Amino acid sequence: MNLGFLASHNGSNMQAIINACRSGRLTARPVVVISNNRDSGALERARKENIPWFHLSGRTHPDAEDLDREIVDVLLNYDVKLVILAGYMKKIGPVTLATFPGHILNIHPGLLPEYGGQGMYGQRVHEAVLAAGARVTGVTVHVVDGIYDNGPILAQRKITVKKSDTADTLAKRVLAVEHELYVETIDHIIRGEIKLPA
C-alpha cells in the first residue's frame, strides 16, 4: 500500500511509520511527503530517507482551491492509497477529501471526542487535560472528514495521568504511544482487520 504524508513540523509519527515500512513491520511504501512548512523537520526526514517531497502552502499557492488541487495532483501522481496526517496543522480541503474519501487518517493526542476540535492540538491538549484534573488521557486514530477531529474513530489507547505530570512529561508519554498506535492501526488496515469507510 502506498502511503502519502502531510506534515507541518517535526514529523516524528511519520518517521515511526517509515521505520516500520523499512523494517517490514508494515507491508507499505512511503512514497511522498508534503509539508506546508518549507523548513519543517518532516521535509528534512524525507530528504534523508530519499522520499520525494514537496513544499505546498499558501506561499506556493495563494489560492486555497489551487493549493487543494495541487496536493491532490501530487498524491495521485505517486499513486497514494492512504493519506497519513502527521502533525499537519491545516484543514484538509474539499477536493482532497472527495478524492480520498475515508482514506485520510489523523492521530490526536487525546481521547476524542474530548479535548478535540479547532485549536486543540499538541501541548494545548495536554494542558487542558491537566487543567481539568483528568485521571486518564490517551491517543486516538481517526478518519478525517470536513470537521476538526470529527471523523470515525479507528483506534484509541488510554494513558494514566500521573499526579506529578506536567504538560511536557505527559506529552512525552503520549507521543511514545502515538508512534505505536499509528503503526498498529495502519497494519490492521492493510491486513483488512479494520475496514475504512468509503
Q: Which residues are catalytic?
A: 108
What does DSSP say about strands 104-108 and 153-160: parallel, antiparallel, or unpaired?
unpaired
Where does 17-126 show beta strands of DSSP type E?
29-35, 53-55, 82-86, 104-108
* Beta-bridge partners for 54: 34
Question: Interior CA angle at 125 toward 111 and 185, to 5°?
Answer: 40
By three-state DSSP, how is residue 177 classified? Answer: helix
Q: DSSP string spanning 115-175?
A: T-STT--THHHHHHHHHTT-SEEEEEEEE--SSTT-SPEEEEEEEEPPTT--HHHHHHHHH
Q: DSSP string spanning 9-34?
A: S--HHHHHHHHHHHHTSS--EEEEEE
Residue with C-alpha cell 488496515? 189
